[in-house]
Chains A and B, each alone.
Chain A
Amino acid sequence: MHTVSSVAVIGAYVVVLTYVALRARAAREFSEFSLAGRALPLALVFGSLAATYVGPGYSIGFVGKGFRSGFLFLGIGLAYAIQNILVGLFVAPRLRALKDCHTLGDVMGQKYDRKCQVLAGVISVALCAGFAAVMAKAGGDVVRDISGLPHWSSVLIVVAVTALYTTSGGLRASVVTDAFQFSAFAILLPAALLLVLGFHLKGGSAAFVEQASAATTEGLSETSPIELIGLLAAFLLGETLIPPYAHRALASETTRVSRNGFVLAGLFSIFWFMVMIALGVAARSILVDDPGEDLVLLTTVKSTMPPACYALLLVVLISVVMSSLDSLLNAGAVAFTQDIARSFKELSAPLNTGRAATIVIAAAAAAGAVAVPTIIGGLLACYAVWAPAILPTLIIGLWIKRPRPLAGILSMGVGTGVAIILWIALWLFFKFVRPCEIEIPPLVIIPALGAAFVAYIIGHCIGQVKQEARNPEV
């Protein structure tokens, strides 16, 4: 009986999702595939942005962090919320105001030159594939829990289904299905928290606060100040304007929608983190054993909800993963087509190139999923490279009058190089010289960002001198 109700719940969810995906219809032109014709309304921009950033890290991962370190990660998550609000107020409207931009690479191309566009495109595609591999790993974990299939085939199922509708419908399908998936998890996960708080918490509000205080103190004592600063920097900058977010800024109906979408998404994230962490804290008084960070949410719901609700939650968690994965696949494919392929060859059918790139990136993500250690660890690794590689060049380029191409190239190259080299060096150091368990990426992000800024300034000065030598009257 339980199995029947669980299958019915999953079946109903899949039917509604398929209907929504079909209503989004196939993209007929590359501008629809890449930017949904720049006509997205506020609710869809907000829902899609929130659905994209609420991946497994900000759901499963944050519940685990709440279980281990209480409200410590709410403070760290606030850095992410501030970043979203600042991007909404100062950067997103500027991006939307640019004409004929499909990608961040296009922005670089307009502000700097073609070489910067290609380099930004290469970094965007690589990072989208990296992030997508993390999502694929998380999706595989959930499907394995539901079906009992081996991990590799679970990963394949999640990636194949997501790639199918993203390949066909492009950004529009991604945004519309994101909105549906967002509604599902934004209603059901807080409802699960309210049920847990109302009916399963032993000791009521006093016990909850006691657990929260104990866990937060534990978390603070286990995190060194340098790690804390690194984590704050990673959450503040690591996901800033990654290609899926930038695409939503570019695809908004107006500059106002672009700004409000990001500001609302930032405010929403504060409440979302609070809910996820509260679930983790509540789990401390429900679970007898420590199930491991990534399994706290699943185990709590399994031990407190009826089987049909558990099945629904599993489907919702797959939605959480798929809504991030589809955005990353689409963003990577559009970046490849627009910034790399089109830079070398005039494409007669860019839509087909975009579709083929979606499939290739999906395959790379599925293959890379096995190399992802933990969800948060995988995300932090991507943050550590993205911020130094792109942010200085992008932000300064949007604000100054005459950005120099040399500054852009140097900053992106040095930022990426320093992040990777420093990461390898620190990994070797903590593996062989002073063995200890430490998250390396947060330690990398600040020095690499500093190096990228210095490289930008040097490139700008050299570029200025060269230009003056070429044209003394300017």
Chain B
Amino acid sequence: MAMLMYILIVLGALFVIASGIWVALALAKVVSSKEVPRTTKKVTPKQK
């Protein structure tokens, strides 16, 4: 029982670390992209 609880906590810690790595990779993709995606499209006079 003690060992089971211990293993569960270690697995929980590994899950949290994996979540951190997932978000870090997604963030790296966003900040390293040449153009950080703008959220609002600029309308040029031609498009108007």
Contact = CB atoms under 8 A, between A and B. Distances in A.
Contact of A183 (B12, B13, B23, B30): B23
A180 B25 CA distance: 10
B43 interface: no
B23 A182 contact: yes
A24 to B, nearest CB: 7
Interface in B12-27: 12-17, 19-27
A208 B2 contact: yes
B21 A183 contact: yes
B12 A274 contact: yes
A365 B15 CA distance: 34
The interface size bin for chain A is 35 or more
B36 A268 contact: no
B40 interface: yes
Contacts of A43: 22-23, 25-27
A29 B9 CA distance: 45
Interface stretch (A32-40, A147-155, A342-350, A456-464): A32-40
B6 A194 contact: no
B17 A186 contact: yes
Contacts of B21: 183, 187
Contacts of B8: 274
Interface in A264-289: 268, 270-272, 274-275, 278
Given A31-B40, A44-B30, A179 B12 contact: no
A123 interface: no
Contacts of A191: 13, 17
B43 to A, nearest CB: 12
B37 interface: yes
A205 interface: yes
Contacts, number: 112
Interface in A1-47: 19-20, 23-25, 28-29, 31-32, 36-39, 41, 43-44, 46-47
A96 interface: no
A190 B11 CA distance: 10
B12 to A, nearest CB: 4
Contacts of B1: 209
A212 interface: yes
Given A29-B40, A32-B40, A206-B2, A47 B23 contact: yes
A190 to B, nearest CB: 4
A20 B27 contact: yes
A275 B31 contact: no
Contacts of B6: 197, 205, 208-209
A172 interface: yes
A193 B15 CA distance: 13
Interface string A171-196: 01000100110111111011101100
A25 B39 CA distance: 11
A285 to B, nearest CB: 13
Contacts of B14: 190
Contacts of A268: 16, 19
A414 B16 CA distance: 41
Contacts of B27: 20, 43-44, 47, 176, 179-180, 183
Interface of B: 1-3, 5-6, 8-10, 12-17, 19-27, 30-31, 36-40
19 contacts: A20-B27, A24-B36, A25-B36, A44-B26, A46-B19, A50-B19, A176-B30, A183-B27, A186-B20, A187-B24, A191-B17, A197-B6, A205-B2, A208-B5, A270-B12, A271-B16, A275-B13, A278-B9, A278-B13
Interface of A: 19-20, 23-25, 28-29, 31-32, 36-39, 41, 43-44, 46-47, 50, 172, 176, 179-180, 182-187, 189-191, 193-194, 197, 205-206, 208-209, 212, 268, 270-272, 274-275, 278
List the 9 closest A-B pairs by CB distance, nearest first: A37-B39, A186-B20, A43-B26, A47-B23, A183-B24, A190-B13, A205-B6, A209-B2, A187-B20
Given A197-B6, A275-B13, 9 more contacts: A23-B30, A38-B39, A50-B19, A183-B23, A185-B20, A209-B6, A268-B19, A274-B9, A275-B12
